Amino acid sequence: MPVVVGLVLGAGVACVWWSLWAPAPRRDDGTGWRARTQDALVQAGVRGVTPGGLVAASLVVGLAVGVLALGVTATPAIAGCFALFAAAGPSALVRGRARRQQARLRRLWPEVVDHLASGVRAGLALPEAVAQLAERGPVELREPFSAFAEDYRATGRFGDCLDALKARLADPVADRIVEALRMTRDVGGTDLGRLLRTLSSFLRDDLRTRGELEARQSWTVNAARLAATAPWVVLVVLASRPEAARAYDSAAGLVVLLVGAGSTVVAYALMTRIARLPDDPRVLR
């Protein structure tokens, strides 16, 4: 009984002490895992899926592959390795599609900026200049700008519609364009046309430089993928023979698989990290 009373008293004192300190407000600056994953889902065109849903899908895929591998090889160690790699598959697929989509959009943004500059130079209001991209802009970007036009016709709130457009595009270049339009709408000014022309020139220079660098480093990425995949293809072939699979059904075999999996993940991450060009962060989300 004295022990219980002491624990209750200690818990009460700890709660009182804890209540004296106000928790620091959490700020979502867009650098967290959830925000980055949500941006990747939007860029990849995966609608209606949350970061939690992606994690759940990864677990389901990993479990299904693990059960299938266990049934084929009858070796838990091998099945566990393939289950881990399969669990990372959905996330890798989403991020790969997001990078390819961002690369495609990077080639389209100069044309979008040119259309906006032409509309502003022709005397169109900013909402009209943005909405006309739903008809005259690049085909790949007409859907989000068409949604912007519908939102603006329904609400008439330019700022809120721009926020929704940024969320649909989830692109750093789109953030710059949207914030330039918002600032011009809020404070006025006659330099928007010059700003858009300067931005268009900068985007074309960046696209040309990035294209040259990507052409030179593509062999590094392909070599990394081949080097990471080849040992596990060999393991699949070996695991098809029961006597070879039983060699990994021991403590030593498990250590070999763990060391191999760790080496593969670390080496692939390092090679792709070194070869990958830096992406623009969404500082104006």
Q: Cβ neighbours of residue 275 under 8 Å, at least 6 residues apart?
A: 217, 220, 221, 224
128 close to 136: Cβ distance less than 8 angstroms: no
Position 236 scores a pLDDT of 82
The DSSP element (H or E) to which 147 belongs, if any, is helix 142-155
At residue 240, what are phi and psi to the nearest 5 degrees? Answer: -70, -15
Position 26 scores a pLDDT of 52
Q: Which residue has the higher pLDDT, 235 or 7?
A: 235
pLDDT band, residue 214 (cuts 50/70/90) = confident
pLDDT at residue 124 tops 90:
no
pLDDT at residue 259 tops 70:
yes
At residue 170, what are phi and psi to the nearest 5 degrees? Answer: 50, 50
pLDDT band, residue 31 (cuts 50/70/90) = low
pLDDT band, residue 249 (cuts 50/70/90) = confident
Residues 55-93 pLDDT 10s: 999 999 999 998 998 888 778 888 888 888 889 889 989
Position 188 scores a pLDDT of 65
pLDDT band, residue 150 (cuts 50/70/90) = very high
166 close to 282: Cβ distance less than 8 angstroms: no
Distance in angstroms (rounded) separating the CA atoms of residues 127 and 158: 7
Q: Cβ neighbours of residue 276 under 8 Å, at least 6 residues apart?
A: 221
Position 18 scores a pLDDT of 74
Q: Cβ neighbours of residue 98 under 8 Å, at least 6 residues apart?
A: 39, 40, 41, 43, 44
Question: What's 141's DSSP letter?
Answer: G
Q: Which residue has the tokens 């926020």?
A: 163
Position 21 scores a pLDDT of 65
172 close to 282: Cβ distance less than 8 angstroms: yes
- Which pTM does this prediction carry? 0.72
pLDDT at residue 280 tops 60:
yes
Residues 217-244 pLDDT 10s: 777 777 777 888 888 888 888 777 777 7
Neighbouring C-alpha atoms within 13 Å toward the C-beta of 278? 4
The closest alpha carbon to 179, from 194, 195, 190, 200, belongs to 195
pLDDT at residue 95 tops 70:
yes
10 close to 17: Cβ distance less than 8 angstroms: no
Q: Which residue has the tokens 């130079």?
A: 121
| Mean pLDDT computed over every residue of the chain | 82
pLDDT band, residue 190 (cuts 50/70/90) = low
Distance in angstroms (rounded) separating the CA atoms of residues 118 and 126: 11
